[in-house]
Every structure is written in C-alpha cells, then in structure tokens.
Chain A
Amino acid sequence: MWYFLALGAALFALGLFGVITRRNTIGILMSLELMFNAANINFVTFNKCIQGGSMAGQLFAVFIVVIAAAEATVGLAIVLLVYRNWRGIGSDHYNVMKW
C-alpha cells in the first residue's frame, strides 16, 4: 500500500510543480489533471485496503473524475475566452489582479 500512496504523492508533487511553473494556461490545466489523478489513486488505494465493505473511495473517485471533467470544460472555455481577448494565454499575461 505504501508504494501506491507514494506514487500518488509523487504524481501530486509533479502536478503541483506544473501548476506553479507552467507558463501556458493549458499546461496548468493539464497539471491540475495530474493532481486530480494523484488524489484518485489515493482514494482507490484506501478503498481497497482500509475498512472494507464500503465502496466510498471508488465512489469519491468517480465524483472527482466528473468534477475534473467539468473543471476542464470550464477551464478550457475560459482559456479560449482569454485567448480571444488577449491574444495569448501566457499565465503572466493576466496579472490584472496585482495589488
């Protein structure tokens, strides 16, 4: 079990790194997907090993998948919108919220 959790942690860390560093908004979104997947791995692992009889872990994973899909949809729509308005999707293009 430890290995599975470690895999999740590693994947999560990768996703985090991606979120923090990618210049491209689509890239950030992809990294987010990685983080979701890391979380899913953990859920499924726990579902198998911890206090069985319930399928809660897998169900949560299902929901997360759905939410991730929704998030991706909206996120990408926003990206398109941003692209249309700013002619670019570099994440430091839209720092309009500074100060």
Chain B
Amino acid sequence: MGPLSSLVYFPLIGMVIVMCLPKEAKVAIRWTSVGASIIPLVVSFALTIDYFFGHAATGLMAYVEGPYDWIPSLNVQYYLGADGISIPLLALTGLLSTLSLLASFNIENRVKEYFAFFLLLEAGMMGVFVALDFFLFYIFWEVMLVPMYFLIGVWGGPRKEYAAIKFFLYTLFGSIFMLVAILILYFTSTPHTLNMMTLIQSGSRLPYMLQMICFIFFFIAFAIKVPVWPFHTWLPDAHVEAPTAVSVILAGVLLKMGTYGMLRVSWPMFPAALKDMAFWIALLGAIGIIYGALVSMAQKDLKKLVAYSSVSHMGYCMLALGAFSSAQAITGCMFQMVSHGLITGALFLLVGVLYERAHTREIAAFGGLGSKLPVYSSIMFFFAMASLGLPGLSGFVSEVMIFLGSFGAVNQVLVGISVLGVVLGAAYILRMVQRVFLGDFDLAKWGKLTEINTLELVTVTPLMVLTLWIGVYPKPLVDLMSATLNKLITLMQR
C-alpha cells in the first residue's frame, strides 16, 4: 500500500475498528478515531515535506499508484497520484480532520456512529484529492455525501433535517451533471478511458460545443460545492445546523473540493471553453465577493456570518480562477483555499466554543466578552483579523496575490470593484468583533462563562501557527505549488 492509499484506508480501517467497539466505550471510540486520523495527518505532512524537497521543482505527479486495472471491461483503473495542488490540500484535510475529531469530544449522542461517519468522511475527502481516475474521483466525491448527510441530519441543530436534505440534494444535483460530463468524456475518447491524465491531454481536441457542454456541466457540479453565487444557499443552512466539527470540515475542506476540481479537471481539460467563459466566471466571483460581504453584514447569527463570509472568500478564489492566465492569481487562489480552510475552520471552532458555553450564537446577545474572556477574545480577534486580510496573516497574502494577479488578466473594472470586498470585509468583521467582544459586559447574563479550555486551545493553536507562518513567510508554500501551477496554466492556455 502506497502512501496515498494509506491516506484513504487508514481512516477506513479506523472506521471499522470504531464500529467493532462497544458503543458504551466512548473514550476508546474517541481516541481510536483520533488515532486513525493522526496517521493520515502524519503521512500527509511527511508527503508535503517530501514533495517539497523531492518533487516541487518539477511539479510532476508523485507517489503515483497504478494505474492498476480495476474493472477492466469498463477500463476503470485504480490510479492515485498527488502533485503540488493536491499535496497542500491533503495536509489541510489531515490537519482539520484530526482537529475536528478532537473538537468532537463533547458529542455524547450516538458517539460510535458519529466517529465512524466522520472517519468515512475523511477517507472520502482524502480520496477526492488523490484520485486520478474519474470513476474513483466520482466515487469518493459521492462517498462523502452520505456521512455528511448523517452528520448534519443526526447531530445538527434545530432545522437539521431541512439543512441535511438540502445539502444532499443540492450536491447530488451537481454530481449528476458531473456524471453526465464524465460519461461524455468516456464515450468520446478512443479507446474509452476514465484516466484523468489522458483525458486532460485529449480534452482540448474535442469539438468546441462538446467542450463547452462538458465544461459547463463540470462547472455546475464544482460551483455548487464551492459554492459560487448563486448556488450558495445550501451553505448557510448547512453550516448553521451542522455540529461545530462538521462545520469546520465543511468550510475547511469540502468547499475546497469545488475549486480543486476546477483546477484539476475542468480548467486544464477544456481550454477553449475556459477562454470564453473566463469573464463570466470572474464576474460570478466578483458578485460573490461583494454579495457575500454585504449579506454577512446583515447577519444576526455568528455562524451564519462566518458562513456568508465563506461565500465572499470563495468569491476571491473564483475571481482568481477567472484570471487563469496569471500564475500569481492562481497561486493566490490556492493560497486562499488553504488560508480560508485554516481561518474559517478556526472561526467555526471558536464559535462552537462560545456556543457550547452560552447556548446561543445571537450576536446581539453578547457584548464586552473581551474583559471576561481575554484569551478567547484574543484568539478570536486574531482569526477575525486574518479573515479580513490583515498583513502578516495568511488571508492577506492570498488576497493580495489574487488582486495583483487578476488585475492584469481579467477585466480591470471587475477587479477594482472586487477590491471593495476588502472594505466590506473589514466592516462586517469589525461589526461582529465590536458587538461581541467590545462594549459593555452583561455580568448577570454571562457571569458564568468560562474561559477556553486546554483541549480547545490545542485545537486552534496549530491553525494559528500556520496562519501566521503562511502570512509571514509564504515562500515555501509558493515553491511547493508553483511548478505544478505553471504546468496547469500552460495546459489552460493551450
């Protein structure tokens, strides 16, 4: 079993073990799952380091497993590989999974099922980032839906069923388009193949109309996942209803799969269609940025605010993807994916911490927490600043890269308008900070609030360190990805 397979299978093994444990053994279940997710975490970080020193200069696919024949009659293969764009996301997935599992220790209801589903989810996420065969890719893509559905639907908030169904159906709706596109590709290729690498090479030879159709189909599937405006409405519902750890995964990893899919699949595969659609994609991105920020400003629920800020932040990614010809913009997009994963993940964790103590997320219900919970407030402030793009933290690096890069590559007015998002971002974040942490403290109401505990500190500290590191010294991450991205950009500009 190669390292990439191990990323997928260790969580699965963990899941099996968890399922075999008696359901009363909550402690054992929790630590087993954490153990099962630490292995992929370690492996993914080791791979990151190894890739950085061994392969980053070439940017080629590394750790390739296969292609082994799997279903020979359909020419389906077992084919895994990772390059500069999947490696950071694998590491992010590994990290966030472990942290989320740690953050799930307060789950008391149906512990066994919860952790089993969580590990299955992790396996699916890892799988999506390493699959190089469309069949595998699609399977992993769908595999994630099921545990997600249950995680939201069983352990969620008051409207969990609605949110879960909405999430499930919406995403499934997108996947159908993807399936159709995959089938089109399969039947138009000679010999019929589902190998992504081959199809990327041959995709540009398809007739223009077919390219366009496939591109749009893929785009719908991925855009729903990102989510791109106007496909975003499942996101706030799912986020608000999902338990904290699931929100973290949802924001931290699942959203990235949409943009990852675009970068990995549809962008390099259909250059002709991409060229014609670039403006519209950037436009959707710009709308997302402004729209998400404005709507965030109107939110009364902390989690919903963070959720809509995700819409805004993923809008930056889309803007950058619209400016595909600029290496800087695409690098910024990758940065934004990673940093949004870290920052928003942390914000959800922190909101969860507060919710657990106060049992409400109403912004208006709080005030002046800064004096009662100095450590918590400082950490929250840190991530709030990261979220609004403060220099020295990762959000700034990605935003600047995206703006600088896309300015020369798409409509400049569009980029200029998008920059407004920076101010609006500051506005809604500061508004939130002010209402929750500054001002008068209601001693009678919140006198019993307790400070963030050690476990929770442990979960957010790695995110703080990484956010700061990427913000202060982004060069390693750029070096890790740049060769791969340059190859992809060459493909996109065919």
Whether A and B touch (Cβ < 8 Å) is answered with no
> Which residues on A are within 8 Å of B, measured CB to CB?
none
> Which residues on B are within 8 Å of A, measured CB to CB?
none
